[in-house]
A and B are shown apart, each in its own frame.
Chain A
């Protein structure tokens, strides 16, 4: 793979395939884990079996890793079957990767944690007694041959500790140096190395150093290595807690599924579930993959995905999502999305990706991090020179101590950790509340929103019109009028007609056969049922047919003023009823809008509806700024106009019609219902229909941003104050010079503090409602 070149560098090769999609998975590529392949000859067998699958263009097995990469237009299930027919087992890498990767990662982290603790104990077992000896008044000076011999022994023991407990610092520092980069390892290696070398010079060649400066600092080397290893171990533990949200999401995945194959129910591993498999789920069990209910009725707790606390009723034809909890009934569903395609797997991927992205606020720290370590090295040299030139005796010792302390106290880690740790917790916290934040930029922008545009239909309202009022003109029954109206409307394609038909269905009213159906464009419909003439439509239609609507006209005006659409229904040319249809406002829209307004956000409503309906809805929900009769393509113009006024604009829509406006806004919020949401279409996706998600998203963003700022403040102040004090600026005034050991402890604590502060975000509760 690599070969030395004439200039001493290695030539590596990079595969540049023709396909052009970014990210990890290609649509026509599958990676499978093969089980049972024990010899190299299996490779040919498996590859041949896979290549025989129609659509497969190539199959390449990596025997060492027991994985095979298959390219071509073939279904994953067909590939698994082909491998199985060749006598082996196959499973998809993606399907189990989340849970298994998490397990492996935790195991690796645990091993690393144990190793750090062991290294720490080793280093401190020498460092602590030496330090206590110094504190107790023991002499660290080297004046007699006996002292030289004793300290030489201690020096060699310290060297042992440097090799055993600090090897990773020195090797890391050297490797970075060779690559012209410098990092935390560089500082630790230089600091501890300087202290040890100086001490060894004092022991081996005391004549080189002035008599007053013949002190050894072996305890500093051992203590610093021990303390920094301890700091790393504690940080590792605290870091683990920052990814709790993603762990919880991964934990939602069921491990097995009960599928019905050949009329028998069998428990199989979740990776083996195929598309269109019939899956049975009993009460109290998790839904293993996404699907459509084909048998049974139940209530499902979807709160883990959507944040919605009320269980959702599911019957035949309803969609169920992996990771949700079946509560009451036993159901059978048909698998429609398995493995990495389930909504849960996609949410996990989205959250993971967002957790690792950085908001723009982190860029300054990134720039600083790039220069930080060399700058600290320069400060250490300048400090040493200052002590040598102007310091009191023993200047050499002061110079060495100040340089070492500067190197050790400076902490690039605190700066580097400030943003990612908070974003990790903040994005995870939002996901727990059913708010999916795409990336760090969206997170930061959301915290600055000044104006929130809400689309009316489907955002403030439910988006599906319903019959709200039936006012009878005579003594006929409501049910009879609704049945006749529904019979007529069942032939119509008008959206309002659907509301009438649905309403009749809800009352178990069976529609009658309609003849002579006629749609009168812009006015209504007519037809006959059971020999009765039916007419349904607006006031003008009734007037045109000479039908007197009487007192219903006034009622109709009142309904219209209340954001409802009134329609007249006549039987045999006599007015029978006034039926009003409206798109009801979501239960908690008013409270959520108030919550946004309380937070100082201007709320604006956009709708394609007429002025009267728009005004009625706006008044009901407490919005004063609204735009009616806005065509879909004009929504973007409204966003731009508000942006031109200097507003930071958030746009909320259903993610489909509103896509251009969502993209134009500073932050686009797609509002979803249940788990069937278009996650790719917006900066922030609300998994449940409630507008409280908006306020939650903004609250989490604000909390995360202020957490990042706290971290930055801490990290900057720490370094800005710590480095000069370590260099000795306080010495001329107060005679204060930090010990390298104190610097080591401070350094270990500083990054731990940042991670701990980020963890505080876990306690944040965005839900005020």
Chain B
């Protein structure tokens, strides 16, 4: 029984680490165009590194028919867009100052972050 309890506690620690403490690596950019695929409940890639003070274009391609995937929000930038199915939608971002900018669906089940450096 002790082993079971220890295993349970270990799984809890793993959950905390995997979902909250672990920071996924960002994908970088070299100024030619990034496609973010919206599929199976995720944005791929979901952590994107951008240069500060430069306008940016992001292309979202929604392959997920679920209505949850339809809306894309950048709350800090006051941008909300609906993503058509299987057709890229370009989002133009203004030059951003250093910081992290979240983007997500209406219900925050799909989540991503722009890391501006």
Are A385 and B5 touching (Cβ within 8 A)? Answer: yes
Please state if A105 and B56 are interface contacts (CB–CB under 8 Å). no
Chain B residues whose CB sits within 8 angstroms of the CB of A373 once the complex forms: 19
- In the complex, residue of chain B having the shortest beta-carbon distance to the beta carbon of A108: B85
Chain B residue nearest in CB terms to A378: B12
Within 8 A of A (CB), among B14-34: 15-16, 18-20, 22, 24-25, 27-34
Knowing A22-B92, A439-B78 touch, does A180 contact B18 (C-beta < 8 A)? yes
Scan A672-683; emit 1 where CB is below 8 A from any B CB, else 0: 000000000000
| Interface size classification for chain A | 35 or more
Query: In whole Å, how far is B47's beta carbon from the nearest beta carbon of chain A?
Result: 9
Indicate if the CB atoms of B56 and A15 lie closer than 8 Å.
yes
Judged by DSSP, the binding face of B is mixed
Given contacts A20-B94, A176-B41, contact A184 B58 (CB under 8 A): no
Interchain CB contact under 8 A, A384 and B8: yes
- Given A101-B84, A171-B40, A353-B80, A16 and B29 contact (CB-CB distance below 8 Å): yes
B78 to chain A, nearest CB (A): 7
A468 to B19, CA, bound (A): 73
Cα–Cα distance between A413 and B108 once the two chains are bound (Å) = 9
A13 B29 Cβ-Cβ under 8 A: yes
Q: Name the interface residues of A339-381: CB closer than 8 Å to any CB of B.
A: 352-353, 356-358, 366, 369-371, 373-374, 377-378, 381
Query: Does A182 have its Cβ within 8 Å of any Cβ on chain B?
Result: yes
Closest Cβ neighbor of B13 among chain A residues: A378
The tally of residues in B whose CB lies under 8 Å from a CB in A reads: 68
Asked if A599 CB lies within 8 Å of chain B CBs, one says no
Question: Whole-angstrom distance between the alpha carbons of A584 and B99 in the complex?
Answer: 53
Query: Do A9 and B27 form a contact, CB below 8 Å, given A21-B94, A357-B80, A374-B19?
Result: yes
**Using Cβ atoms and an 8 Å threshold, which residues of chain B touch A357?**
73, 75, 78, 80
Question: Taking the nearest CB of chain B, how far is it from the CB of A354, in angstroms?
Answer: 9
Q: Give which listed residue, B27, B41, B50, B81, contacts A183 with CB less than 8 A.
A: B41
In contact, B15 and A378 (Cβ under 8 angstroms): yes
- Which residues of chain A come closer than 8 Å to B27, judged between CB atoms? 9-12
In the complex, B100 has a CB within 8 A of chain A: no
A185-B41 contact given A239-B67, A385-B5, CB 8 Å threshold: yes
A371 neighbours in B (Cβ, 8 Å): 20
Q: Are B93 and A22 in contact (CB under 8 A)?
A: yes
Question: B91 near A17 (CB under 8 angstroms)?
Answer: no
What residues of chain B lie closer than 8 Å to A115, measured between beta carbons?
Answer: 65
Instruction: Check if A1 is an interface residue, CB within 8 A of chain B.
Output: yes
Closest Cβ neighbor of B31 among chain A residues: A16
Q: How far is the CA of A172 from the CA of B65 in the complex (A)?
A: 12
Bound Cα distance from A178 to B18, whole angstroms: 9
Say yes or no: A420 contacts B29, CB within 8 Å.
no
Interface members, chain A 150-171 (any B CB < 8 Å): 168, 171
Contact A182:B19 (CB < 8 A) given known A15-B34, A381-B11, A385-B5: yes
Check if A65 is an interface residue, CB within 8 A of chain B.
yes
Which of A104, A177, A353 interacts with B85 by CB under 8 Å? Answer: A104
C-alpha spacing A10/B34, complex, angstroms: 11
B40 to chain A, nearest CB (A): 4
Known: A12-B35, A24-B91, A356-B106. A17 touches B5 (CB 8 A): no
Contact check, B5 vs A181: say whether CB atoms are below 8 A apart.
Answer: no
29 contacts between A and B (CB under 8 A): A1-B35, A10-B45, A12-B27, A12-B28, A13-B29, A14-B32, A14-B33, A16-B54, A17-B92, A19-B92, A21-B94, A101-B82, A112-B65, A171-B40, A172-B42, A179-B24, A183-B110, A356-B106, A357-B78, A371-B20, A377-B15, A381-B12, A382-B8, A385-B4, A388-B1, A389-B5, A416-B106, A416-B107, A417-B107
Q: Interface of A with B (CB < 8 Å)?
A: 1, 7, 9-24, 26, 65, 101, 104-105, 108-109, 111-112, 115, 168, 171-185, 232, 235-236, 239, 352-353, 356-358, 366, 369-371, 373-374, 377-378, 381-382, 384-385, 388-389, 412-413, 416-417, 420, 439
Please report B residues at the A interface, Cβ cutoff 8 Å: 1, 4-5, 8, 11-12, 15-16, 18-20, 22, 24-25, 27-35, 39-46, 48, 50-51, 54-58, 65-67, 70-71, 73, 75, 77-82, 84-85, 87-88, 90-95, 106-111
Known contacts A22-B77, A182-B19, A384-B8; 19 additional CB pairs below 8 A are A1-B33, A9-B27, A14-B29, A14-B57, A21-B55, A22-B79, A65-B88, A104-B84, A115-B65, A172-B42, A175-B39, A175-B42, A175-B44, A179-B46, A356-B73, A356-B80, A358-B75, A374-B16, A412-B109
